[in-house]
Amino acid sequence: MIIKILTLFPEMFYGFLESSIIKRAQENGLLEVEYINIRDYASNKHKKVDDYPYGGGAGMVMTPQPIFDAYEYAIKDFDKGVKARTIYLTPKGTTFNQKIAVDFSAEKQLVFICGHYEGIDQRVIDTIVTDEISIGDFVLTGGELPTAIMIDAITRLLPGVLGSTESYEDESFYSGLLEYPHYTRPEDYNGLKVPKVLLSGNHKEIDRWRRKSSLEITLQRRPDLIDESKLTKLDKKLINEINNERQLK
């Protein structure tokens, strides 16, 4: 996958995107990332990239010319005839989730536009942006942090990055539920013990315990994620067990 990031602050990505799993993905040729400084493409003498909004109001707006020119540079080597999937990070966008991460991970090339100030000129959005995305109901000073979060979520889904699809298929949100608890050695730590079923070697019972734990955690913390139409007979039986156990407490 090729990712081009249009930003005023490319240095914000250096440590994050040059470490850990994302660094290895780039070293192994699974991911290519280029930072493009929008300010470098400003045509005015002082490299100014913002101006007052028409109609008045507080704050400044990023002007269209530097963004359009930076974008044209970003896509110059992309596949011809295919509109680049171009993501603008904005509180007005669709809230990012695992389903969207999976969707983006299927793309060969992505462009991220990191806005600042009061945002970017609407003509940029109308012309080149394909997806407006938010990472939550709050406002940040710019789009760099949301972009970094999205790249992390997308990259780990690329084939070969984690080594096995099992590494993410059991994780929270991938299956529609929150993930079950994990335990490791030692078996007993200061009287805190690992559940016996995980030590039994009975994989059928272990799978059952994990599914029940996922359902229970999801019911407690994110009941909105429970889709009745996708529950199996076993899921419904486990939910009944959970409800009965709650009543006994």
Closest CA to 208 of 232, 226, 225: 232
Q: CA 31 to CA 10: how far, in whole Å?
A: 17
In degrees and rounded to multiples of 5, residue 43 shows phi and psi of -85, -10
For residue 199, the one-letter residue type is L
Query: What torsion, rounded to 10 degrees, do the Cα atoms 166, 170, 171, 173 define?
Result: 130
140 is in an annotated binding site: yes
Q: CA 103 to CA 111: how far, in whole Å?
A: 14
128 is in an annotated binding site: no
136 is in an annotated binding site: yes
Residues with Cβ within 8 Å of 120's Cβ and at least 6 positions away in sequence, in order, are: 61, 62, 64, 67, 88, 113
56 is in an annotated binding site: no
Residues with Cβ within 8 Å of 74's Cβ and at least 6 positions away in sequence, in order, are: 4, 6, 34, 36, 84, 111
User: Which positions make up the binding site?
Assistant: 115, 135-140
User: Which positions make up the binding site for S-adenosyl-L-methionine?
Assistant: 115, 135-140
